[in-house]
Structure 1
Amino acid sequence: MSLAELRAALEAELAATPEFYDFKVLHSEPEGALWRISLEPGYIFAEGQPPGLAAAQALLDDSLDGASAWWGAPQRGAASVLALLPEADQLLLQNASAPPPGAGHLIRLYPPRFLKPLAEAWWDAGWAPRAWDCLPDLAAPETVDEGLQLSGAPFRWLREGQRRALALPRHSSAFLWGPPGTGKTTTLGVMLAEYLEARPQARVLLLSSTNAAVDLATLAVDKALQKGRREALRPTVQRLGTHFNAAAYAGREHLIPSADAALLARLSRAEAARPAGRDAAALKAWADRVAELREALRAASLQVLRRSRLVSMTASRACFTLRSLRELAGPESADEPPFDLMVFDEASQLSLAQALVLMPLGRARLFAGDPQQLAPVLRSRERGAQRWLGRSAFGEMPRGAAAPSVVLLDEQSRMAAPIGELVSELFYEGTLRVAGDSAQRPDWLAARRRALGEVGAETHVQLQWMRSEGAWSATERGPLRRESAEAIAQAVAQALESDDWRAEELIVLTPFRAQRALIRHCLRRRGVALDGEGGGLRVSTVHRAQGSEAPVVFFDPADAAQPFLQTEAALRLLNVALSRAQAKVLVYLSRRDAEQPLLAPLVQRLRLAADAREALPLERLAAQPDFPANALGRRVMAGRHRGEIVRVSPDGRQFWLVNERSGATQLFDTAFWRAKAGQKP
């Protein structure tokens, strides 16, 4: 490993990252000074990439925050993206220089080049070595604040794991591993509220992967300060950036610095008014104006940073404003970290390269997230890019259950026990369990025991078998399966018609945008109002679902034979899909889907969970002369493993067991078990 290798990885990713995306417009309509643009879900063209799977995987998400829009027909124009509505495939544009195009025309988006400031930091001769030197600390952190004692006293409801997590800021690098429903964000809020009081002079930088995640974490801190009766500290918390959910800050407006927001709005208007390239004088004046506003914004942000105890922003913005963040230390302390504590929330979605380049800003660093959920988005296939940009800091954390700098939250209060056990066995080696306080609450249990049509109240995981297979659609540029789309639309419509369920209690998930668009179309035909279109039903790609939850999840893989669904990333995606559910999860599968490596363990585990046969000791069967043929098809106990023998090799030297806890297929050696049973080979 070397700094040169990391820089090469950044170059490879920059080369693989499109500079623009072309979308096809379905409809454009003015809304006051804004324009609402509805996009065709299946049409995405990424610059430099052929149409196909890679283009279909491009997402309308936070990576396009602050993007510039351009169109060439029917009238040339430009605008800036004010907001994205991914669930409705819509954009809100502001400062349009001409009416945006209508149906059938293309609109081009130029996303901010988030990688450029990251690359510039790694080529900074003074900064890069400091960032590189942080790498060993992830695996072997030191204690930097021995006297810090956070008791969590005002919050008596904290669970054991959450209380242990309060000691993490004592370490130079620490990891809060929060599987689904374990209260990671709440834990962070309590921890940071306690930290601000315990260390009156300390400064905290709170970062996250997306604007939505920054909002959740910032609000969690403010709520913890409020509940802990630390009102004097609440104005010292500030959320930087303008791409926040304004409705979420109702009654908490003190968290948003208004001067920063006003300057960003002026900069956005100025950037959207770029003159034609042939008018050199106008272009120079425009560039000077933009540079002036950028410098004013930097100065305003610096003032906010200096007067605040805790500031929050996206990690991408931290890279863009790295110069300002570094200046907080002052010229006389240029080599000292400007922050006492840095928190990377949803850190499993931040690349190792991004985390490292920001780590010198903090004296202590805390990474909160779940490495078993979505990983950083990566485009390059280069091995170096996978190493530095496709992995997070969690890949470097200390190993071993006794590591004091790692806390795993192992009690969840979201999923009904059968769903939680499924998620625990498939993704967390059986460590995740229902929190004791939740399991004893009648209201919690009742909310998870509700019938959904023919799916009874006590059934929490249901496989819905489809006769047809999914297939790639060249027209829609993605995998489609109409049968499952229609089945989901019918089940949702019937649930809503029964008045037993509300639209906001249901969520439909699929890995592919093309299938999502088809499901939305089927639902509209049945009169179901969708989220973003005046209704409450969410139909989302799984990538957009992390951080959300609902009583019922409908999951449609559409076509599990797709190469994308054969990857490690797809395994994390399945975890996200299943773990959104509180009461029920319905999975729509064909027979071919059920044979794919991603979904076979799920299917096998559910099958074996219903197996009431006695589990025979494998040693007893191994003592018989016809072993292992006599074990085929039987339910057995093999040491700490329990499951069904499903296959024997032709020569009888090996056999395979499907583990009923994990659903995984395990290979066993015949000679070993014969010897264990006292038989000669």
Structure 2
Amino acid sequence: MVVKNVFEPETAQDFWKQMVAAHGLEDAQQKYLEFGKIFGHFLHQHTTQGAVKLVGAFAQTDFLLREHEVQPSLRKAVNEARIRFRKAGSGELSMDVLRENAPYDFKAICLFIGLVEGTPVPPEVEKLFPTNRPQRTLKVPEAEYLRVLVSKVDNDNIYGQIETEPLEVVICYSHGNTIYNFDWTYLRQQLHCGSQINIIRPRLYDDILYPELIIVEPDYLVDISAIAACFESYAHSPLIYLLNKIRPMETTEAILLGNLAGQLLDEAVHSEGEGQPYTESVQQFFKGNAINLLAANISPNFHENAIKQKHNIHKAIKADMPQQLKEYRQRDVMLEPSFFSEMLGLQGRMDFLQLDQKVLIEQKSGKGGWPQPDPNTPVHQEKHYVQMLLYMALLRYNYREQYDRNNHHLSAFLLYSRYPNSLLGMSFAPQLLFEALKIRNGIACNELHFAEGGLKVLDTLTPEQLNERQASGTLWERYQRPQIEALLRPIHNASPLERMYYFRFLTFIANEHVLSKFGNRTKENSGFASAWHASLNEKRQAGNIYDRLQLLSPSVNDSPRPVTRLVLGFSEHADNDMSNFRLNDVVVLYPYEPEQEPDLRRTMVFRCSIEQVSADRITLVLRAPQTDANVFLRDADKHWAIEHDFIESSYSSLYRGMHAFLSAPQERRDLLLLQREPAIDTSLQLCGDYENFNELALRVKQAQDFFLIIGPPGTGKTSFGLMTTLHEALLTPDASILLLSYTNRAVDEICSKLVDEKLNFIRIGNELSCPEVYRPYLLSSAVGECSRLEQVKERIMSGRIFVGTTTALNTSLSLFRLKSFDLAIIDEASQILEPHLMGLLSAVKDNATAIRKFVFIGDHKQLPAVVQQHSEESRVHESALNDILLTDCRLSLFERLLKRYRERPEVVFMLKRQGRMHHDIADFPNRAFYGGQLTEVPLEHQQQPLPEAAPHADFFKKIFTTQRIAFIAAPQPPKSPSDKVNQTEADLIAEAVVKIYELTGSSFDVVHTVGIIVPYRNQIATIRNTLDRYGIPALHDITIDTVERYQGSQRDYILYGFTIQQYYQLNFLTDTVFEEDGALIDRKLNVAMTRARKHLLLFGNPDLLTAVPTFKELLEYTQAHGAYFNPSADLSDYKNIYSI
């Protein structure tokens, strides 16, 4: 059972106190940043409990204003303040404007706080209010588009408020559209009070707005190619989008030929003259697609067709385009530029775009439309035309300035590379574009509905219902209809329990998907939409942007060559400890004018991975290499920004995995739904000798379906649990084993064990996520040594150990069409949600499970999976699912199976000997979280006595020479810029680190000696800056991070700063607490304490911490052991701490 203590949130008095303090600041810019921060936190606190998804401050403010029936004058004033907070956070307003409006905005927000909290504003706050300001006349701003929050809809008009002015507007949608004069009445069914829309290029006539286009829920970006795929001959329907999400990923010869043709297009653009020979092209393709090529069983005609496509592409790019278009410039081209258009609610990437946006090419390797009068010249397919129209609309609307500079000239081509005369020019088609955006709006509305349980439409959906256009004939009867029936059949044939399980997790995934775009309730400025809803200051505070970057490489001095890497320099003011970026993260890079706010919506973006980060620069690897450095050098004088990318495909494997479950063999489905007992074969005996781990090895071997290994901190779950199981499995001739984990870091650790023991293996994944030392083991490296597919197949079939992340394997399911596995050992299993494993556990080879048996290794008492949803959203209410112990979708399959079988030693084993923590450090977490079951190995450092303290030792030296664990009471900071910044604790921690550095002397090691754990990135930067003031270079590079990033790590000394200054922050510190056997298990505290080998210091405010039972117990424990220190109570001890 999850235990959630809801600690008292901040009260009206707290917020007024903060507003008054901010109001007293001299600097108007700083004052507004504080106002904005307080206002944002107030909105977040009061909009996290409802079921409505509120995207951004605009929607949150409107919700509270309506909910509390705020008077129009205050409603207007609050919205004016909200708009100024947003603009001030981005530096858009002058100091004079800020100074003039500050008193009125202060008054508006203080009154708003009182109304929402139901408490009158106190006199001492009220006396600071200015007199009422003169009313100003508002008018609808002239803009390319306006965001509108809908209040009501009738048969002709939409009524709502615009985001950028506190102004109510009326929008006519039923008539008066001069360009798209079609039937917009479908909006009546899609819109409701609280919906958000973008109205594009609105014109004002008689106080009514007439837009060209209306985009529903524009924060839900829909991929253009996915919209185009909804145009089938039997229907133009957003339901096709749903079917495509659950449709198994196909690996066909046609798809592979298309992928190769895409590579050939890139090569044609990159190359001079004839380009590289086909044999080199196909060898490169072969290296990255070997499994799929084998699984597709390609025909002898594959290479002949590919060579024709190479020739046709070369002809189109090198001959036809230059002849047909005088404005064509091959060197001034972006390959696979990506875009995010909040204006149109679209995202995606183009194949080929000229830098001046005058030429656009989209390649298609398959057949054109029908009928086709000339066999050498294609006609377009409707879905391909739709895709091009949406790209053209993007250039026409989203990038309007460039479109105007081009005098509205855009040459758009479909390149059907199957045909000699491959280029088809595309023109504007208003009605088809209208239909495409209607589909887009339908998809967005459906996705929000599906996140709330609407996916059960699949339960009754039939091909006849989908056949809106009454298709008949061979295509429908022999292909389309049977394919739809086959896709829906597993749902219709499933048992009631299977169907319930399927729909509950499908809804959970859909909600996670929506929240990843819109943002969740537990974290401010989360979700991809924060890229445009959050101000620059908010992004910096959240660590979600690197801005003010300078392009260092490529440079004008570099020799001409395709650009694969970029190097950018940080500004001297960059505070990179605040960043939320890590190596191998996928990010987007884009330029912006120095005087503007960085905004990824304004320009095409480059998708990259972070390869290296140092103090002064960052190196990125482009996902799509560019032909010419001019793509970047033309913007060399601009600033550059990096933000997190959103990978839509990361959810695709989850939808497909759940659908695969319904087609898994019945015995596997029954096992996962606890409808049958796991099989045990006690006749089996060990082939090897594993000393202390023989009992574990034997139990695992005898278990025929699955086994659970519980690995508490420091017990060697990889070294002993995983490796012992692997060694015994390898003693069975021809056995194949799959080793999986959730994170690349854990996979790296597995690889290190295999290398140490000289075991050969194949790693599934890409080079970017694999350290150089393990790259020779990658599948692509193994393929590089082969010249024929038969050799690759032999290499794969003879391979016995395959390693990778669950994500990597979920995107390589074709492997199971070639090979089955006797055993999968899945590390970090307690951090992996059920849908992440379902595609793997449901994989089939020759009508049997592709993975015969699985072993989960994990510890449910350490950190769980990161989930967007609140417990109220993820809780499972269906009694039949509760009966199989599915009570919360946020829990792992490991944990659900453990609940059922924890008392069954034949399928569960707990490792109990830990070799990390000194006994004194392990004592509290062992008793509090593991029932005293853990013992030391013991290793030398676990028994080492402490030296005697010198008589006049200073404060921290006395602690380090007398205690293994200590709590240092940190007084409340007298003044703090944020609740997430605690300078008092930072000073104490920095002093302690310096003392550790002095005590360890020449043995000090940046990587192994000391680590600091804090809950907030803001505090990371504060501690780093405080440490730097000591001027000791070695201390700058020690790891300061959150507990989530520390799981799996260890240090000799761990310093854990609780940081919090307000009671409400206890919610965040305790959000992973659950109850087991009457004991409260605090997973964050458990992980933080058990990272330490020799010394553990805890810093915090005892007055706040004792409100939590586990923290109170911890403080009482330190007091009982003489390890509770209050430096402020003894100035002689404390005098050294602020000496710098």
Instruction: Return the TM-score normalized by structure 2.
Output: 0.42
Which stretch has the larger CA shift, 302-311 or 95-104? 95-104
Indicate which of 53, 78, 82 corresponds to 2:609.
82
Say whether residues 1:515 and 2:1050 are aligned partners. no
Partner of 1:3: 502
Partner of 2:818: 328
| Shift in CA distance, 404/3, structure 1 to aligned 2, threshold 3 Å | same
SS of equivalent to 2:1052: strand
Partner of 2:1090: 579
Partner of 1:292: none
Partner of 1:550: 1051
Which stretch has the larger CA shift, 579-588 or 133-142? 133-142
Partner of 2:521: none
- CA deviations over 1:573-629 (Å, ceiling 9, x no partner): 111110000111000011233313152221122223459xxxxxxxxxxxxxxxxxx
Indicate which of 829, 836, 846 corresponds to 1:354.
836
| Contact 2:660/2:839, CA 8 A, preserved across alignment | no
Kindly report which structure 2 residues correspond to 1:280-429, keeping only aligned pairs within 5 A, or say none: 305-322=796-813, 324-329=814-819, 338-360=820-842, 361-381=850-870, 382-384=873-875, 387-397=888-898, 398-429=900-931
Q: CA deviation at 1:352?
A: 2.1
| Shift in CA distance, 351/85, structure 1 to aligned 2, threshold 3 Å | farther
Q: CA deviation at 1:355?
A: 2.4
Say whether residues 1:242 and 2:767 are aligned partners. yes
Partner of 2:935: 433
Bigger relative contact order (CA 8 A; separation at least 6): 1
| Contact 1:353/1:389, CA 8 A, preserved across alignment | no
| Shift in CA distance, 602/516, structure 1 to aligned 2, threshold 3 Å | same
| Shift in CA distance, 413/36, structure 1 to aligned 2, threshold 3 Å | farther
C-alpha distance in structure 2 between counterparts of 1:301 and 1:5, whole Å: 41
Indicate which of 485, 491, 513 corresponds to 1:14.
513
| Contact 1:411/1:433, CA 8 A, preserved across alignment | yes
Say whether residues 1:208 and 2:741 are aligned partners. yes
| Contact 2:696/2:909, CA 8 A, preserved across alignment | yes
C-alpha distance in structure 1 between counterparts of 2:699 and 2:637, whole Å: 56
Say whether residues 1:219 and 2:752 are aligned partners. yes
C-alpha distance in structure 1 between counterparts of 2:675 and 2:981, whole Å: 43
| Contact 1:241/1:313, CA 8 A, preserved across alignment | no
Partner of 1:259: 781
Partner of 2:1117: 605
Amino acid at match of 2:1093: Q
Amino acid at match of 2:1043: V
| Contact 1:71/1:107, CA 8 A, preserved across alignment | no
| Contact 2:710/2:859, CA 8 A, preserved across alignment | yes
C-alpha distance in structure 2 between counterparts of 1:384 and 1:101, whole Å: 51
- CA deviations over 1:510-559 (Å, ceiling 9, x no partner): 1211111211121222224468xxx6511111111111111100001111
| Shift in CA distance, 37/166, structure 1 to aligned 2, threshold 3 Å | farther
Partner of 1:23: 545
Amino acid at match of 1:205: L
Partner of 1:149: 686
| Contact 1:148/1:167, CA 8 A, preserved across alignment | no
Partner of 2:730: 197
Say whether residues 1:445 and 2:445 are aligned partners. no
| Shift in CA distance, 147/372, structure 1 to aligned 2, threshold 3 Å | same
| Contact 1:71/1:106, CA 8 A, preserved across alignment | yes
Report the structure number with the largest CA radius of gyration: 2
Q: CA deviation at 1:15?
A: 0.8
Percent sequence identity is 20
| Contact 1:174/1:406, CA 8 A, preserved across alignment | yes
Structure 2: gaps (5+ residues): 1-499, 518-526, 532-543, 555-564, 595-601, 843-849, 877-886, 950-955, 1074-1080, 1124-1140
- CA deviations over 1:319-349 (Å, ceiling 9, x no partner): 2222x133124xxxxxxxx211011101111
Structure 1: gaps (5+ residues): 45-58, 227-233, 264-295, 330-337, 612-681
SS of equivalent to 1:454: helix
C-alpha distance in structure 1 between counterparts of 2:606 and 2:1000, whole Å: 43
Amino acid at match of 1:371: H
C-alpha distance in structure 2 between counterparts of 1:68 and 1:596, whole Å: 43
| Contact 1:150/1:166, CA 8 A, preserved across alignment | no
Partner of 2:1068: 564
C-alpha distance in structure 2 between counterparts of 1:497 and 1:219, whole Å: 33
Partner of 1:120: 656
Q: CA deviation at 1:167?
A: 3.1
Which stretch has the larger CA shift, 14-23 or 517-526? 14-23
| Shift in CA distance, 499/42, structure 1 to aligned 2, threshold 3 Å | closer
Kindly report which structure 2 residues correspond to 1:164-203, keeping only aligned pairs within 5 A, or say none: 164-165=696-697, 167-171=699-703, 172-203=705-736
Indicate which of 527, 545, 565 corresponds to 2:1031.
527
C-alpha distance in structure 2 between counterparts of 1:357 and 1:380, whole Å: 22
Indicate which of 962, 967, 983 corresponds to 1:482.
983
Q: CA deviation at 1:456?
A: 3.7
Amino acid at match of 1:151: G
- CA deviations over 1:32-73 (Å, ceiling 9, x no partner): 7432565755878xxxxxxxxxxxxxx5358x6444444554
Q: CA deviation at 1:144?
A: 6.3
| Contact 1:215/1:244, CA 8 A, preserved across alignment | no
C-alpha distance in structure 2 between counterparts of 1:470 and 1:506, whole Å: 28
Say whether residues 1:457 and 2:961 are aligned partners. yes
Instruction: Return the TM-score normalized by structure 1.
Output: 0.68
SS of equivalent to 1:422: helix
SS of equivalent to 1:552: strand
| Contact 2:858/2:894, CA 8 A, preserved across alignment | no
SS of equivalent to 1:420: helix
Amino acid at match of 1:123: H
Count residues with an aligned counterpart: 528
Q: CA deviation at 1:407?
A: 0.7
Q: CA deviation at 1:3?
A: 1.4
| Shift in CA distance, 309/71, structure 1 to aligned 2, threshold 3 Å | farther
Amino acid at match of 1:235: N
C-alpha distance in structure 2 between counterparts of 1:421 and 1:354, whole Å: 35
SS of equivalent to 2:740: strand
Q: CA deviation at 1:112?
A: 2.6
SS of equivalent to 1:372: coil
Say whether residues 1:94 and 2:621 are aligned partners. yes
Partner of 1:590: 1101
Amino acid at match of 1:308: G
| Contact 1:412/1:433, CA 8 A, preserved across alignment | yes
C-alpha distance in structure 1 between counterparts of 2:970 and 2:1091, whole Å: 23
| Contact 2:545/2:641, CA 8 A, preserved across alignment | yes
| Shift in CA distance, 433/521, structure 1 to aligned 2, threshold 3 Å | same
Which has more strand, going by share of residues?
1
Amino acid at match of 1:542: V
Q: CA deviation at 1:367?
A: 0.5
Amino acid at match of 1:354: H
Q: CA RMSD in A?
A: 3.8
Q: CA deviation at 1:134?
A: 4.1
Say whether residues 1:109 and 2:611 are aligned partners. no
Amino acid at match of 2:742: S
| Contact 1:23/1:43, CA 8 A, preserved across alignment | no
| Contact 1:67/1:112, CA 8 A, preserved across alignment | no
